[in-house]
Amino acid sequence: MADSVVVRCHRRSPRSLLVVSLAVFLFHAGPAAGQDAGLDPPEVRALWVDAFHAGIRSPAEADELVAAALRARLNTLFVQVRRRGDVLYLKSNEPPLADPAYTPGFDALAYVIERGHRAGLSVHAWVNAMPVWRNDAPPADPRHLFHRHGPGQPGDDNWFTATPAGDHLFPVGYFLDPGHPAAADFLAGVYVSLVRDYDIDGIHFDYIRYPETEERLPRGAAVGYNAVSLRRFQAATGRHDVPGPGDEQWTMWRRQQVTHLVRRVALEARAAKARIIVSAAVIPWGAPPAGERDFADTAPMQRVFQDWHAWLNDGLIDIAVPMNYARETDDRVRGWFDGWVRWEKAHGHGRAIVTGLGAYRNTPAHTLAQVARARVATSMQRLLGVSFFSYASPVLPDEVRPATEPPSLADVAAVGVDRFAFLADGVASAPAAFARPAPFPTLPWVAQPDTGAIAGQTAVTTGTAHALVRRAGWFRRTTRVDVDGNGWFGVARLRPGRYRVQIDHGGVRTAPAWVTVSAGQVTRVGGEAPK
């Protein structure tokens, strides 16, 4: 069918004075291998810092954040700088976060980068992709996407996803539809401009998917029915009906729209900054897959159309961070947690997986237990580290709170820099997870890449065109990859060498374009619509 990857490449090649003082005391640079007597081996020790609560809304908040991370011997911050169409950085056309604690003229991202890097922390820009709004009252700023391209806009100017009945509000709010080319183009610009304008170490996808619904169908979901998206699907497949939520061809097509955006952002970001790290917070809901093929039947694939397994395999993301938010006191959920972690260890596909822990759901002892199990290496692979959700709602060191109750914001404010101290200090019933600092690990394919990529754009945007990429030489396989709704295409994880690129539109091919792929680079190729 059109708009689907017919051949997928399977290549397995081989950062106030308080903060500065604390940084010098608790974190220092060491050998890359992490074998210094004062350092643990390299691993990711990350913290999600959301924009709905205290975190980076002021210099004082950002200083305390850095101090808290160092106190807990963490080394990575995923800082949410775009929430729901509102931002905490200045180099943006979107409106600033409307929060009494945030001053619109304060560039929170630039500040936390400077403070974080000075302290030795890796800082990644966490950006919500699809969510636009959730509250009943619409946003006040007329520049907001809700006003410019929401349900109130006519025809193609409506970028929001919908149900088959045309409803736009889901349990998690209003979402953009990745199948709308203008929405996808806009989001790609958001991510890539961050890479170009700020000294971030990485970009971090979140909500890079369709919204979940209250109804859980055996297969598929009642989402994605934006009029433009549906029209593109019909044109690409030759169908004239409105597909049902569980229609397999429709499901595959919706997954492809999400993957198109991930592919474009990843390659455009690497073209802008070769050493940028691309990561994504991804879904591991429900029972884990038993094997490779079983992933197709899991919740990420069937409920929200997020094929993160393929993103790793195709080299589109460097780190997947499955949100394994499991309550340790629930036997069934704990079993699912262990099963997903086992599966994650065996399915990194030459890239990295960092397990996301729902610390807010557990006591410190239980969180420490999950860290310990996640860090156990198997014969197949080890995880690159762990990430904790969240800075706003950590567990508390006294362990008096029931595991089902997250701490209140008042409790968190009182804890301050000690909110995650149990990770470094341990508790009476469990030893510390991080007895010493550890450096952020070197990702070999980022630091010393042995593959490159091709990216290009063609005038064909109908959803029925493909890019055909073939390496020069005998007995080479042709990679056939979709052209997205904006005419954009790309392939990652290509061995260096000469490649022939053609655009196939309805069986008519353009003249070959020959390009040279170099390790660690994104090679641009032009394309044109067949005449």
* pLDDT the model gives residue 135: 74
Question: Are residues 408 and 481 part of one domain?
Answer: no
**Given a cut of 50, is residue 2 above it in pLDDT?**
no
Residue 223: inside a domain: no
pLDDT band at residue 463 using 50, 70 and 90 as cut-offs = low
Question: Are residues 468 and 424 part of one domain?
Answer: no
Question: Are residues 376 and 429 part of one domain?
Answer: yes
Dist CA 269 CA 116 (whole Å) = 21
Cα separation of the two ends of the chain: 22
Burial class (CB in 10 A: 0-12, 13-18, 19+), 422: buried
**Given a cut of 90, is residue 461 above it in pLDDT?**
no
Work out the mean pLDDT of the chain and round it to a whole number. Answer: 89
Identify the sign of the CA torsion 418, 424, 427, 433: positive
* pLDDT the model gives residue 42: 97
CATH of the domain at 506: 2.60.40.1120
Residue 335: inside a domain: yes
Question: Where is the domain boundary, 419, 447, 475?
Answer: 447
Rounded alpha-carbon distances, angstroms, from residue 299 to 258, 314, 342, 355: 15, 20, 17, 17
CATH of the domain at 406: 3.20.20.80
Name the CA dihedral angle for 174, 179, 180, 182, rounded to a multiple of 10 degrees: 100
**Tally of domains in the chain:** 2
Name the residue range of residue 438's domain: 44-162+171-206+257-286+300-447
pLDDT band at residue 378 using 50, 70 and 90 as cut-offs = confident
Instruction: Please answer whether residues 178 and 184 qualify as being in contact, where contact means their C-beta atoms are separated by less than 8 angstroms.
Output: yes
* pLDDT the model gives residue 393: 86
Question: Are residues 459 and 443 part of one domain?
Answer: no
Dist CA 488 CA 455 (whole Å) = 8
* pLDDT the model gives residue 20: 29
**Given a cut of 50, is residue 400 above it in pLDDT?**
no
* pLDDT the model gives residue 408: 55
Dist CA 342 CA 380 (whole Å) = 10
Question: Are residues 417 and 268 part of one domain?
Answer: yes
Instruction: Please answer whether residues 339 and 378 qualify as being in contact, where contact means their C-beta atoms are separated by less than 8 angstroms.
Output: no
**Given a cut of 80, is residue 15 above it in pLDDT?**
no
Residue 232: inside a domain: no
Residue 25: inside a domain: no
**Given a cut of 80, is residue 21 above it in pLDDT?**
no
What integer is the mean pLDDT of 355-370?
Answer: 95
Q: pLDDT per residue over 187-196, tens digit each?
A: 999 999 999 9
Question: Are residues 470 and 439 part of one domain?
Answer: no
Show the tokens assigned to 291.
């094997």
* pLDDT the model gives residue 448: 97
* pLDDT the model gives residue 380: 59
Question: Where is the domain boundary, 447, 469, 491?
Answer: 447
* pLDDT the model gives residue 236: 92
Residues of the chain with pLDDT > 90, as a percent, come to: 80
DSSP 8-state assignment for residue 95: P
Question: Are residues 180 and 110 part of one domain?
Answer: yes
DSSP 8-state assignment for residue 513: E
Using DSSP bridges, classify how beta strands 497-505 and 513-517 pair: parallel, antiparallel or unpaired.
antiparallel
Residues of the chain with pLDDT > 70, as a percent, come to: 88
Question: Are residues 441 and 325 part of one domain?
Answer: yes
**Given a cut of 50, is residue 152 above it in pLDDT?**
yes
Answer left, alpha or beta for residue 465, where phi above 0 means left and psi between -120 and 50 means alpha. Answer: beta
CA atoms within 13 A on the CB side of 499: 28
Question: Are residues 459 and 394 part of one domain?
Answer: no
Q: pLDDT per residue over 195-251, tens digit each?
A: 999 999 999 999 999 999 999 899 999 999 999 999 999 999 999 999 999 999 999
Dist CA 520 CA 517 (whole Å) = 9
* pLDDT the model gives residue 438: 98
Residue 197, classed as helix, strand or coil, is helix
What integer is the mean pLDDT of 466-476?
Answer: 92
What integer is the mean pLDDT of 288-304?
Answer: 94
Residue 333: inside a domain: yes
Question: Are residues 305 and 268 part of one domain?
Answer: yes
Residue 329: inside a domain: yes
Beta strands in 134-291 (DSSP E): 174-175, 202-206, 277-282
Model pTM greater than 0.75?
yes
What integer is the mean pLDDT of 408-415?
Answer: 53
Show the tokens assigned to 484.
């997205």
Picking from 207, 254, 252, the residue whose alpha carbon sits closest to that of residue 230 is 254
